[in-house]
Amino acid sequence: MAYQVVTESLVNVFISSNCTSFTSEKKFAKDLTIADLKSKLELITGASSISMSITVFDSKDNKVCDLDDNAALLGSYHVDTGMRLHVVDTSKTRDEFENLANVEKFEMSKEEYAKRDDTVQSFLKRNRLGKYNEEELKKMEDEKSKLEAEEKQMAEAMKVDDRCEVKAPGAMTRRGTVRFVGQVHFKTGYWVGVQYDEPLGKNDGSVDGKRYFKCPEKYGGFVKVAYVTVGDFPEEDLDVSEDEM
């Protein structure tokens, strides 16, 4: 074999293998022996260094050479940056570690699972947690029903054309007129459709093409009833001087 003079200390190459379906990119020192290179490629590809062969391909997938001398240096072969080292382990097949189609699956029926005492289900049952705590579940259901009843009561106390003030978390206080009260298609519970006095809303009274009321664009919004207070809330005058627009 005619050896090439090493002019650069590192070479950046792509790595493919018959053991995996992916290609990686790594840098190797050119003063690395092929035996040491195989040890490093073993960690990258999962191929065994004992049954490993390495073929070098250029950027156009033309074969350049085989790295067939374990004692030789990597730099003694014609291996340049951008080339690909294809690793073949004759004892393995492609995708052996990725293809789960042939992996034997362990399956257990619900009845068998329920009989075991070392499962998450058995732990929850022993400690009466989650859905296995009937008292806690009932308490949560009662609390949910109470909140729903209160929400419905608040909604029934509002009517279209009521003046209102909206105080939603994280938003400025806004005033407007109630244009809709009831249930909507995009969220659960009771909602209030408000036409704001200023263009501080998000829509024109419709959501996803479904119209609940009509108002100018950006003047409409939907708010949970808990954030809306109806009452004597006249429109606020904007304090704008003659020097402001």
Task: Return per-residue pLDDT of the chain as tens, 245 residues.
Answer: 444 444 468 999 999 998 877 888 999 999 999 999 999 999 988 888 898 999 999 989 999 999 999 999 999 999 999 999 999 988 765 455 555 565 667 777 888 888 888 888 788 778 877 777 787 778 888 888 898 899 999 999 999 999 999 999 888 999 999 999 999 999 999 999 999 999 999 999 999 999 999 999 999 999 999 999 999 999 886 554 444 33
Look at residue 155 and tell me if it is in a domain: no
- Kindly report the pTM of this predicted structure: 0.45
Look at residue 94 and tell me if it is in a domain: no
φ, ψ at 109 (rounded to 5°): -75, 160
**How many domains, in total, are found in the chain?**
2
DSSP conformational letter for 79: -
Look at residue 4 and tell me if it is in a domain: no
Nearest to 79 by CA among 177, 10, 152: 10
> Residue 103's pLDDT is what?
60
Look at residue 197 and tell me if it is in a domain: yes
Q: Cα separation of 152 and 226, whole Å?
A: 10
Look at residue 32 and tell me if it is in a domain: yes
> Residue 5's pLDDT is what?
43
Last residue of a domain, one of 39, 65, 89: 89
> Residue 242's pLDDT is what?
44
> Residue 99's pLDDT is what?
57
Parallel/antiparallel/unpaired status of strands 84-89 and 52-57: antiparallel
- Kindly report the CATH number assigned to the domain that includes residue 23: 3.10.20.90
> What residues make up the domain containing 19?
10-89
Parallel/antiparallel/unpaired status of strands 174-183 and 163-166: antiparallel
